[in-house]
Structure 1
Amino acid sequence: MANEVIEAVLSELESVGIKGRVEVGGKHHCVLWSAPNGPQEKTVCASTPGDVRAVLNQRAYIRRKLREYGLLGASEPEEPVISGSASVALREGVARCTSLDIAKDFDKEHKNVLRAIDQVRRDIGPEFDRLNFEPISYIDEKGRSYRAFSLTRDGFVMVCMGFTGPAAAAWKARYIEAFNAMEAELARLSVPANEDVRVAQIKGDLDALTDLVLSLPAPRQIKRGPWVNPVHVFRQRRAERRARA
């Protein structure tokens, strides 16, 4: 099975002419490598990397080590080390993030995020705006109310697709992963809901059948004469025979 973290480490090493050797372990694998005239280095990688953070962090670590050995120019930008998780939550059955989350994670002022949202809302149609941008508000530490927005995945993409830089690219990937995970969980939870709908449909069919049966006319009652004791009939017939004798 491909390991994206190991592949990233080997790719960075190969870019400066170093061939790494992979040692497979249990929960962790190792990449052994050596810079020219340098000691052997061991880079530990998880056998099952969690998300894009692992790739970015390990790539940034290898680049710092190569820079220490003088194998990368100081002018080359380092990839950011990303910590924390994307702020995606369920709101009224839809995976959403807020403009405040975007401002915090993308290291932007909230007013600039609002400006980007306002521009997108002006450029798109009212139906897309209504479905993907929900006006909300928040209270600051002084008790003042300010406007904000709750965004769907599509709203997030429309606003943040223009954000640039290594950190912005990493956060975009992590938000997409968070949206994917949330929507996958919603899809899993929708299976029992579908079963409930099917049960409700069956119950409705049974109720309709019950109403139909109750609406049918009652069965015809068979009228019977008064009940006569057979002993009395036997005695009467015996008396009649004696009278005729």
Structure 2
Amino acid sequence: MNQLVFINNGQPFTDSLTVAVEFQKEHDHVMRDIRQQIAKLNEAGEREWGISNFGETQYQHPQNKQWYSKFDLTEDAFAIVAMAYTTPEAMKMKVRFLEEFKRMRNQLQPATVEDLIIMQAQSIKDMRQRVDTLEHRTNKAAETVKEIRDTFLFRDEDWRNKINGLLNGATRRLGKSYRDMRTTQLPNA
């Protein structure tokens, strides 16, 4: 049996890869389901909750060594995603996951007040790192938007090459092909 829940920065998590394997779904379908749930949270005004419970990251595929996106999920995020899976087998799997989250939480219970303070400090540090990462991504996106705007406004003879360069760079960073990128819907900024 695969490990369903793991410890990440002192907190129990699972990830989209584990959910895909255990629920016998394609990983890209699980990623689609997660993105749909995040979009619904944003529509409901729960963007901050989504950010603190769904952590998009990357993993390297063991066979082709390419980098792909995945999500780390807190117990609450897992519950929201898993609600959509309703077959009897899925219900059994949800129970297994939730029992494993509970077991991990019990293992992580602090023994002393000092342990609790250390855990809280680590949590604050982790959250600050996530905020810094988001700020960095936002700044990079703003720079890219400015570059695209400037390219379209000035339309020099090299503007198509500049646009292609931007798109090719974006596809490389996302670990996708240019063809895949053309059909990818990007989230609203």
Distance 1:105 1:196, change over 3 A: closer
CA distance in 2, matches of 1:113, 1:145: 17
Report how far residue 85 of structure 1 moved. 5.0
Q: Which has the higher helix share?
A: 2
Instruction: Determine helix, strand or coil for the equivalent of 2:108.
Output: helix
Report how far residue 170 of structure 1 moved. 0.7
Report how far residue 94 of structure 1 moved. 1.0
Equivalenced residues, count: 112
Q: Does 1:98 align with 2:15?
A: yes
Instruction: Determine helix, strand or coil for the equivalent of 1:191.
Output: coil
Instruction: Determine helix, strand or coil for the equivalent of 2:68.
Output: strand
Report how far residue 184 of structure 1 moved. 1.0
TM-score, length-scaled by structure 2: 0.56
TM-score, length-scaled by structure 1: 0.44
Distance 1:133 1:195, change over 3 A: closer
Report how far residue 167 of structure 1 moved. 1.3
Task: Select the residue among 92, 97, 101 that pairs with 1:179.
Answer: 101
Report how far residue 133 of structure 1 moved. 0.4
Partner of 1:167: 89
- What letter is aligned with 1:91? N
Q: Verify the 8 A CA contact 1:99 1:110 in the aligned structure 2.
A: yes
Partner of 2:126: none
CA distance in 1, matches of 2:87, 2:116: 47
CA distance in 2, matches of 1:181, 1:112: 28
**What pairs with 1:93-242 in structure 2 (closer than 5 Å)?**
93-124=10-41, 125-140=46-61, 141-187=63-109, 190-192=110-112, 194-195=113-114
Q: Provide, for residues 65-111 of structure 1, a one-character-per-residue CA deviation record: whole Å limited to 9, x for no partner.
A: xxxxxxxxxxxxxxxxxxx2551001011100000000000000001
Q: Does 1:87 align with 2:9?
A: no
Q: Which has the higher strand share?
A: 1
The percentage of aligned residue pairs carrying the same residue is 32
**What pairs with 1:4-23 in structure 2 (closer than 5 Å)?**
none
- What letter is aligned with 1:142? N
Distance 1:197 1:148, change over 3 A: closer
Runs of 4+, deviation exceeding 2 Å = 195-198
Segments of 5+ residues of structure 2 without an aligned counterpart are: 118-189
CA distance in 2, matches of 1:178, 1:156: 12
Report how far residue 196 of structure 1 moved. 6.1
CA distance in 2, matches of 1:155, 1:91: 15
Instruction: Determine helix, strand or coil for the equivalent of 2:96.
Output: helix
Aligned-residue Cα RMSD (Å) equals 1.7
- What letter is aligned with 2:49? F
Report how far residue 162 of structure 1 moved. 1.1
